Amino acid sequence: PMYDTAGSAKILSEGVGLPDKCTPENTAAIASDLAGKTYRLNCLEKGIEDDDVNFTRFLLLSRTGIVQHLNPKIPSKTSIVFTLPDSAGALYKALACFALRDIDFSKIESRPTAASLLNYLKFRSQQAHGRKARQRSGSPRFRYCFYLDFLASEVDEISQNALHHLNEQSDYLRILGSYPQKSRLVGPIAAAVEELKNSNNQLSSEEVSLSTLPSDEDDEKKKLNIGIIGYGVFGEFLSKQLVKKHKVSCIDPFDKSKEAEEIGVEYYPMFDMMSFLSDLDVVIIAVPMIEFEDVVSKLPVDKLRGKLVVEVCPLNSHPKSVMLQNFGPDVDILCSNPMFGPSLSDNNESPSPVSWDGLPMIYEKVRIADMRRCDKFLSIFERERCQMVEMTAEQHDASTSDAEFVTHLTGRLLDRQLLPPTPVMSKEYAALCDVADMTAADSFDLFYGMFKYNSRAKDLLKKMRENIAKVERQLAAKEAYLAASAEMKNNDRKQLIEECKILLREVASSSNIAAKVEEKDGKPAESKITETSQKES
């Protein structure tokens, strides 16, 4: 098997990369007539498919749609993708949005959701339902995406009504685009094809046939040239993973040449910023948030043109606005937050970094012209099996800013003096130690940035103090209650003992009186009582 049918024809024509015991003389390729002509192969047999109505569908992708070139006289088709809640009849209700408006389908299929979309839906669910959504044990481990093609343009009134109706029932809905039916070309594509035909009308078909394929380019072997501005703890942590398959350089106001050289990173001093930026594909700004605006404002914008600029701050709204204000439209912008980092317990001398498997990576493609380069950068985290979650910077901050601030605040309160090492520890104690290790490895500037750019941070600090005071009051009240209970029990015991003593004295006193009476009369007291009773009778 090859990457595509044209690729198999190319391999066979060159005779390089064939499987063992396969030669151009004993091997054939299943490919199109065009591929055979392009690579000068002999056609042994045509029409070998067992289903003559079978066809391959190709889609021409563009960042700008062609819906403005679709008029009512051109039959159109629209492709959408959506997810539905896990409930009975959900798909039936979704399809009814189109059936009620007499909109026909040409295709519908379902596929498992991508990991990034599944994690985004989980974040949405947690944001909507809070803690109950996180504690719900029955949440599905995978969900289905439904791909639907309907025979109408997205700008038609009936289509708009159907899509609004579907959006109310779905968890996620995206319109992939509208285009003409039956492979008809419109707009600038049609004009470009017509111009190509006119310019090449004197050439033969063999002279204008394809000579290279997009698949020929081996992206896996092309390394990104990545530069890190700010080679602190987190910048060094990232570079250990990036340097494995890419060329990495760094720049920092402090001399980091020794640390960079140990892991194969090239160090530049701050005065050599021009040389540092000259050949980069990706620029990662890994500085504390309180310094972010100052650092960005001093960057030479001309040297950033055509590059991808990535920020990795714990909050994204402020860095996003700063970059949009300072960078022009020719600079690609990616906001991200790798929600993991180094800790004091990490072995920095180890040549292999810690695993990122299962750790969340939040990102937003704010402004991307070179999507291929952006996807290649994000694939670094995908290959490390991170949980890729795409959401806007505003959604990210609303969902995680409070939790991140409280986590780092708790870690700074729980220093190592409060968490001494023990030979045996519970899971809860181990988790607290991990939090303390993680936050102790981060700089105070990072924590201050979480405080400064989170409008609710002061309220969270106040709530933390109130909770500590509440716990102290509860402890004092419990202690006073137990002391009072013990005192009351002690007083009751003393009173009981005194009452027993009094009772014993009374018993002893009664016994002495009876003995004296018996001695005086010469008869037992009981006999006197009997005689007295007989006289009364």
Q: How far is CA 104 from CA 76, 136, 179, 284, 304, in A?
A: 12, 38, 15, 48, 48
Which pair of tokens denotes residue 386? 């991170």
Residue 408 CB partners (closer than 8 Å, separation 6+) = 439, 442, 446, 447, 450
Q: What are phi and psi of 454, to 5 degrees?
A: -120, 110
Query: How would you label 201-227 residue by residue, b for 16+ Cβ within 10 Å and e otherwise?
Result: eeeeeeeeeeeeeeeeeeeeeeebebb
> Using only C-alpha atoms, what is the Rg of the chain?
40
Q: Are 292 and 311 in contact (CB under 8 A)?
A: yes
Active-site pick, 23, 55, 56, 271 = 56
CA gap 375, 224 in Å, rounded = 12
CA angle 487–489–490, rounded 5-degree value? 65
Burial of 453 (0-12, 13-18, 19+ CB in 10 A): buried
381 is catalytic: no
Question: Which H or E element spans position 284?
Answer: strand 282-285
Secondary structure of residue 82 in the 3-state scheme: strand
Active-site pick, 23, 27, 55, 58 = 58
Q: Which of 192, 196, 185, 191 is nearest to 66 (CA)?
A: 185
105 is catalytic: no
Which pair of tokens denotes residue 17? 């990369």
Question: Which H or E element spans position 390?
Answer: strand 387-390
Catalytically active residues are 56, 58
